[in-house]
Amino acid sequence: MSNMFFIDGQEIAFTPGQTIMDAALAAGIYIPHLCHKPGLTPQGSCKLCTVDVDGRSASACTLPATAGMKVDNNTPALQEVRKTLLQMLFVEGNHLCPTCLKSGDCTLQALGYHLGMLDGHFPPFYPLREVDASHPDVLLDRDRCIVCALCVRASREVDGKNVFAIGRRGANARLIVNSPSGKLGDSDLAADDLAAHICPVGAIMPKNHGFEVPIGRRTFDLHSVAESDVATPVTLKKTEHHDE
């Protein structure tokens, strides 16, 4: 019984200190998530990994597993809650999948399909947000930012830089750039930094590329978001040419 807990009745092993999310991913169990990537400090902001732990809601990416813990994950009620959270993320930004070059490689979009989201449900905010195209190689389109802070953590924890931060609070929270002008072009972001590639949506994208990966060969054309090998490495394939 030691170092074992239950997800949807299935017994799972964990190492002490390991979160529910990381133990689940290690066991090949998918818990929907957007702001989590193994190896980076857990953030717990998107709340899509909400699970019921012994009758109480918790974020699987931040709560350490404990022996004998009973976790409900893949239940209709929780999937409905996650779909609602997803709808709120969609209406809060300007997510126009038909013209977004991340389409097919976007985790937000893939989760929409995975959770059976058919509309935004809530009235769209249509926020006015700034596009920052000042960097020669990387485009920052805040319309699509879901404030998951993966880029913030990747820059600090992997790239050894401090390019991004989350400014303001609550509904006004937004991605800011640590540079004298606040522009990406004045920061020390490099095109091959992890922070330039980790965005799960189309907010941080390589510039000067079209839909180079044809329909049918994009990440989520080939894989379900629920496949743990897809869920783990959140990288961009836009600069590869896949035609063979």
Partner 1 sequence: MEQNQPAPNTRRIAIDPVSRVEGHGKITLLLDQDNHVQEARLHIVEFRGFEKFIQGRPYTEVPYFVQRLCGICPVSHHLAAAKAVDQIVGVDELTPSATKLRRLLHFGQVLQSHALHFFHLSSPDFLFGFGSNLAHRNIVGVLEDHPDLALKGVKLRKYGQQVIAAIAGKRIHGTAAIPGGMNKSLSNDERKVLLGDIADIIAWSQDAVALNETIHLQHPENHAFATLSTNYLGMVGSQGEMELYHGGLRARQADGSEIFDQFDYTQYGSAIREEVRNWSYMKFPYLTAIGKDKGWYRVGPLARVNLCDSIPTPLAEAARVRFRAFAGGAYVHDTLAYHWARMIEMLHCAEAIQELLNDPDITGTDLVVHGEKRAQGIGVIEAPRGTLFHHYQVNEQGLIEKANLIVSTTSNNQAMNESVRSVANHYLDGQEITEGLLNHLEVAVRAYDPCLSCATHALGKMPLQVELFSHNGELLSRATKNSDGCAVTPHPLAPSPSRGEGEQEIQSLSPSPLEGRPCKGLGAGLG
Report the interface residues with partner 1, using CB under 8 A. 98-101, 131, 133-134, 139, 207-217, 241, 243-244
Least distance from C-beta 137 to partner 1, angstroms? Answer: 11
CB closer to partner 1, 8 vs 212: 212
β-bridge partners, 10: 7
> How many CA atoms within 13 Å lie on the side-chain side of 104?
17
CB closer to partner 1, 167 vs 185: 185
CB closer to partner 1, 52 vs 212: 212
Q: Which residues contact 142 (CB under 8 A, 6 or more apart)?
A: 129, 130, 131, 132, 174, 175, 203
CB closer to partner 1, 51 vs 145: 145
CB closer to partner 1, 2 vs 99: 99
Least distance from C-beta 97 to partner 1, angstroms? Answer: 11
Least distance from C-beta 87 to partner 1, angstroms? Answer: 22
CA triple 24-204-171, angle to 5 deg? 75
Closest CA to 82 of 46, 106, 135: 46
Least distance from C-beta 202 to partner 1, angstroms? Answer: 10
CB closer to partner 1, 119 vs 240: 240
Distance of alpha carbon 223 from alpha carbon 89, whole angstroms: 23
Least distance from C-beta 204 to partner 1, angstroms? Answer: 13
Least distance from C-beta 243 to partner 1, angstroms? Answer: 5
Q: Which residues contact 118 (CB under 8 A, 6 or more apart)?
A: none
